[in-house]
Amino acid sequence: MNRISWRSLIMLWAMGAALLALASCAGAMPKPASRAAPVADATLPTLAPITLAAGEKLRVVATTNIIGDVVRQIGGDAIDLAQLLPAGTDPHSYQARPDDLRQLNRANVIFINGLHLEEAMQPVLANLDGNAPVIAVNIGVPIRELGDAATGHAGVDPHTWMDARNVKRWVENIAAVLSALDPAHAELFVANAAAYQTQLDELHQELVAAAAAIPVQQRNLVTDHDNLGYLADAYGFTVTGAVIPSLSTLAAPSAQELAALQQQVEQENVKAIFVGTTVNPNVANQIASDTGAVVAPIYTGSLSDASGPAATYIDMMRYDMTQIVAALQQ
Ligand SMILES: [Zn+2]
């Protein structure tokens, strides 16, 4: 790397550090402990039916648009669904807006990802005026845990949806909750859930087959933050580096970490850095232009808008795998 690009990289780092909460992270990518025990809160609460007037629909709120899409597949027209995060927003940093508060306070039930994904929204979720149950769709999902507290990387990985099998568990949870709250539509919810589960099974097999096109020794992923761990575990990849070596976008990389990543990209001849559409790509672009790697956009924290290539969860996963396979094959 020449001196000029170093300077621009450090400047970009300083800008990022000024904007983001500083986290002290030293060292290379943490090694995940394993797909360990399910989440601590492993059972759904018992919910009593809501009394609905004739023609009145169950009022359901979903935080992320990925959860919103899955809830919509199950609830269809039988529910009144509001999803809070618009397309393209980062779920880690999103803060509730006044209209979100109105939706949250009138809801009969609120579906969240949990696992600290909605960390910037947590104060609002913890202090709602309404009394809707707040249900983490990940109840019962095997969670990827990072155990290295010394480096500040400890924590649970919230990006569970990057393994299609985990979303099957979301579907079970969502169908059970909607059926308990609105038993008159339970048969519909269960039928919709079963049909969607079949699509998720097909999606999973399709992703396995697509990944198999890449030789195992080439299935290395460098990402924007540590968001592809579940995808890597499920589809046989290894995450070897990240611009922000953290489970959250709210952390910032140190200059040393960026220098180490740049060196790694050069030495290991990394072909692509996979950057989520909700993340500022400046640092990744800089590393790419200095090293000859490409920045490959993928959707991880948010769907695209309706006209984009990732308008639904299933489209998102297909699109991402296509991007990954294409970038690693070049
Ligand atoms: Zn993330």
Rounded to the nearest angstrom, the distance between the alpha carbon of 309 and the centre of ligand 1 is 20
Query: Of the candidates 200, 224, 246, which is a domain's last residue?
Result: 200
| Residues 131, 15 share a domain | no
Rounded to the nearest angstrom, the distance between the alpha carbon of 26 and the centre of ligand 1 is 19
Rounded to the nearest angstrom, the distance between the alpha carbon of 228 and the centre of ligand 1 is 9
> What letters, b where the CB count within 10 A reaches 16 and e where it falls short, cover 95-105?
ebeeebeebbe
Rounded to the nearest angstrom, the distance between the alpha carbon of 53 and the centre of ligand 1 is 40
Q: End-to-end alpha-carbon separation of the chain, Å?
A: 23
Q: What pLDDT score does 148 carry?
A: 60
| Residues 318, 255 share a domain | yes
| Residues 240, 182 share a domain | no
Q: What pLDDT score does 4 carry?
A: 39
> Between 32 and 199, where is the model more confident?
199
Rounded to the nearest angstrom, the distance between the alpha carbon of 46 and the centre of ligand 1 is 30
| Residues 284, 177 share a domain | no
| Residues 189, 304 share a domain | no
pLDDT in tens, 248-296: 888 888 899 999 999 999 998 888 999 999 888 898 999 999 998 999 9
Strand, coil or helix: what is 26? coil
| Residues 42, 16 share a domain | no
Rounded to the nearest angstrom, the distance between the alpha carbon of 278 and the centre of ligand 1 is 9
- Cα distances (angstroms) measured from residue 240 to each of 36, 155, 222, 251, 273: 20, 18, 6, 18, 11
| Residues 11, 51 share a domain | no
| Residues 122, 261 share a domain | no
| Residues 324, 303 share a domain | yes
| Structural domain count, the chain | 2
Q: Are 286 and 9 in contact (CB under 8 A)?
A: yes
Nearest-5° angle of CA 214, CA 217, CA 222?
A: 85
Rounded to the nearest angstrom, the distance between the alpha carbon of 57 and the centre of ligand 1 is 32
Rounded to the nearest angstrom, the distance between the alpha carbon of 92 and the centre of ligand 1 is 6
Rounded to the nearest angstrom, the distance between the alpha carbon of 77 and the centre of ligand 1 is 30
Mean pLDDT of the chain: 87
> Between 242 and 151, where is the model more confident?
242
CA distance 197 to 225: 29
Q: Are 13 and 253 in contact (CB under 8 A)?
A: yes
| Residues 90, 10 share a domain | no
Rounded to the nearest angstrom, the distance between the alpha carbon of 189 and the centre of ligand 1 is 29
Rounded to the nearest angstrom, the distance between the alpha carbon of 206 and the centre of ligand 1 is 24
Rounded to the nearest angstrom, the distance between the alpha carbon of 268 and the centre of ligand 1 is 25
| Residues 52, 196 share a domain | yes
Query: Of the candidates 200, 233, 250, which is a domain's last residue?
Result: 200
| Residues 252, 187 share a domain | no
Q: Which residues share a beta bridge with 60?
A: 81, 109
Residue 22 has pLDDT above 70, yes or no: no
CA atoms within 13 A on the CB side of 242: 28
Rounded to the nearest angstrom, the distance between the alpha carbon of 266 and the centre of ligand 1 is 25
Among candidate residues 171, 162, 144, the one with its CA nearest the CA of residue 38 = 144
Which residue range(s) make up the domain with 115? 35-200
Query: Of the candidates 200, 224, 240, which is a domain's last residue?
Result: 200
Rounded to the nearest angstrom, the distance between the alpha carbon of 4 and the centre of ligand 1 is 31
pLDDT in tens, 146-205: 766 555 556 899 999 999 999 999 999 999 999 999 999 999 999 999 999 999 999 999
**Cβ neighbours of residue 224 under 8 Å, at least 6 residues apart?**
242, 243, 244, 249, 273, 274, 275, 276, 279, 281, 284
CA distance 126 to 207: 37
Nearest-5° angle of CA 196, CA 200, CA 163?
A: 135
Residue 33 has pLDDT above 60, yes or no: no
pLDDT in tens, 98-129: 999 999 999 999 999 999 999 999 999 999 98
Rounded to the nearest angstrom, the distance between the alpha carbon of 224 and the centre of ligand 1 is 9
> Between 67 and 330, where is the model more confident?
67
